[in-house]
Amino acid sequence: MSSISILSADEIFEQWLRHCAVSDRRPISEEDADAYRYIWSTWKRFLDGERVKACAPSVHWADVTAPFVLNFLHSGIGSRKTGADVSAITKRRYWRVLDRIYAFAVEKGILLNNPASSLSEQEKPPKENPLGAILSPRVWNRCIQMLDEPIGPEVAQHEIAVRNRALLRVLFELGLTPAELRGLLVQAFVDKVGQQDASIKVDGESYTRVRELLISERTRVGIVEWLRVKATSPAHAASEILFSGKTGKVLTDEQLLNLVRAFLLKACASVDEAPPLRLGPQIVRNTLLVRLLHEGVHQDEVVVRAGLKNAKGLLHLRQHLPDGPRLKLAGATRHKDNEAVEPELRPLSCA
């Protein structure tokens, strides 16, 4: 089929996006759609001849071959950090988007072959490791020490610093998912003045449940201090979001990632330890869940604390567990794949 008579690169992308929105798969969020557009626009620039080393004739999206895709993966993706290499994870995500869109074009009869899937297995960027990464004990302990250190007067004057301290304490204490942490509302914080049973109510993200998690006095004080600062800030006062961004809106995934990443890098540097490959909220959550299992907390309670449906949601952490908890986890997942762990109607203590 002649590329002249078929859809443009923009048209095929928008058709694919609409298809995904109504398919049986999980609908693409607006945030994900923006990320996919960025990847596709990078691909379009490469098609138009914008190469890293030299210009080349433009190529229609429907005329590309597997070697062209491979060339794009090697030289067409630029790192957002000057001088940094593009990670295998990033290359895999770019390749995956191309593979999905071209597979859609084949399914619709627009193309005969998918050039992205035509790469050999050795040429395709490797899959991400499904086993969850965790922080070392030294880095984890250093993070807790840093959070317990008093804030200096000069730092306390910066509202974002106060917010970040409270946010990080909640993350390290409760191990919420990035979406749960970003979406917390002010009303989720339950503070019974004079009693040591302050808590945060969390709407489950991946499994429908609301769980109430008790927080320590240090974390309660941190949130109270942030709410005091928040109430006097024109940018934050009117926002119902607990840890609102500078404009009062929900923090983006990237903003949260950068915040946590900077904190973890500082902790790693202070103990002279190389940082893990992945640094973000998820590695903090993974580490907390593993620590709870190591400490003997029953896996069903860990499941409930984490907002998971059942123990199957912990399998990606099994490599970090000793034989006892690991084997118990494996046994539970064999028998309870479809059975949900139901929480008791009581607040769950903090870690």
What is the domain-level CATH number for residue 204?
A: 1.10.443.10
Q: Tell me the torsion sign for CA atoms 290, 335, 179, 95.
A: positive
Per-position pLDDT tens, the chain of length 351 = 445 457 999 999 999 998 887 764 445 666 567 788 989 999 999 998 865 455 567 899 999 999 999 999 988 887 555 555 777 878 888 999 999 999 999 999 999 999 999 999 899 988 766 567 899 999 999 999 999 988 776 655 688 999 999 999 999 999 999 989 999 999 999 987 666 689 999 986 555 568 899 999 999 999 999 999 999 988 898 899 999 988 888 888 888 988 999 999 999 999 998 888 778 899 999 999 999 998 988 888 898 898 888 888 888 888 888 776 666 666 665 554 555 655 554 455 555
| Tally of CB atoms within 10 A around 153 | 7
Q: Tell me the torsion sign for CA atoms 319, 296, 298, 210.
A: negative
| Together in a domain, 197 and 253 | yes
Distances (CA, A) of 275 to 156, 172, 263: 28, 17, 11
| Together in a domain, 79 and 157 | no
| Together in a domain, 189 and 299 | yes
Scan for tokens 């749960």, then name that residue. Answer: 180
| Tally of CB atoms within 10 A around 261 | 16
Given the DSSP bridges, would you call strands 199-203 and 210-214 parallel, antiparallel or unpaired? antiparallel
Task: Tell me if 257 is assigned to some domain.
Answer: yes
| Together in a domain, 96 and 179 | no
- Pair of tokens at residue 325: 């908890």
| Together in a domain, 175 and 226 | yes
Task: Tell me if 263 is assigned to some domain.
Answer: yes
Distance (Å, rounded) from C-alpha 48 to C-alpha 41? Answer: 10
CA 193 to chain centre: 34
Beta-carbon contacts of residue 166 (< 8 Å; ≥ 6 apart): 219, 222, 223, 225, 226, 243
| Together in a domain, 153 and 59 | no
Distance (Å, rounded) from C-alpha 295 to C-alpha 282? Answer: 20
pLDDT at 286: 93
| Together in a domain, 101 and 147 | no
Range of the domain at 174: 137-335
Answer with the one of 107, 123, 146 that is the final residue of a domain. Answer: 107
| Burial grade of 270 (CB within 10 A; 0-12, 13-18, 19 or more) | middle
In total, how many domains does the chain have?
A: 2
Task: Tell me if 116 is assigned to some domain.
Answer: no
pLDDT at 79: 56
Task: Tell me if 122 is assigned to some domain.
Answer: no
- Pair of tokens at residue 329: 């986890």
| Together in a domain, 85 and 164 | no
Beta bridge partners, 189, equal 200
| Burial grade of 199 (CB within 10 A; 0-12, 13-18, 19 or more) | buried
pLDDT at 28: 64
| Together in a domain, 330 and 184 | yes
| Together in a domain, 161 and 244 | yes
Answer with the one of 107, 124, 151 that is the final residue of a domain. Answer: 107
Answer with the one of 90, 107, 124 that is the final residue of a domain. Answer: 107
| Tally of CB atoms within 10 A around 220 | 22
Nearest by Cα to 183 from 240, 227, 254, 224: 240
Task: Tell me if 118 is assigned to some domain.
Answer: no
pTM: 0.63
| Together in a domain, 74 and 217 | no
Distance (Å, rounded) from C-alpha 184 to C-alpha 204? Answer: 11
Task: Tell me if 323 is assigned to some domain.
Answer: yes
Task: Tell me if 324 is assigned to some domain.
Answer: yes
Q: What is the DSSP letter of 185?
A: B
Distance (Å, rounded) from C-alpha 230 to C-alpha 237? Answer: 5
| Together in a domain, 214 and 257 | yes
Task: Tell me if 121 is assigned to some domain.
Answer: no
| Burial grade of 240 (CB within 10 A; 0-12, 13-18, 19 or more) | exposed
